Amino acid sequence: MFRQIGQLKVEVTWLKKILGAPVEKKRQETEPMNPKIGISRRCVLMDLLRSSFCYKPEGEDEYNLMLMRMINEKYTKYPFNGVRRMPAWLRSRGY
């Protein structure tokens, strides 16, 4: 029983640090090397999905960034060009 009380005290102390934090902060604060609280338990305490804890974001590749810049410039000049005209315009440019 005292072991369980001690475990709950560790969990409450740890949880106070991250209440109300954004998901990225919660992911950083999970302290993966902390042996006192398991990863699954930490995710439950933080109301964080385990899959979002394990998620590693990938950046955009250079080609995709270039296309997004082109679309942004075109849309800024001609905001009436929508979802149908934009792909046609990109194809006419060879993309």
pLDDT, tens digit (0-9, with 9 covering 90-100), for 50-77:
777 777 778 889 999 999 999 999 999 9
Tell how far CA 92 is from the center of its chain: 35
Q: Where are the beta strands (DSSP E) in the chain?
A: none
pLDDT, tens digit (0-9, with 9 covering 90-100), for 2-60:
777 777 777 777 666 666 667 677 666 666 656 677 778 777 777 777 777 777 778 88
More confident residue, 1 or 70: 70
**Nearest CA-CA partner of 12 in 42, 55, 57, 56:** 42
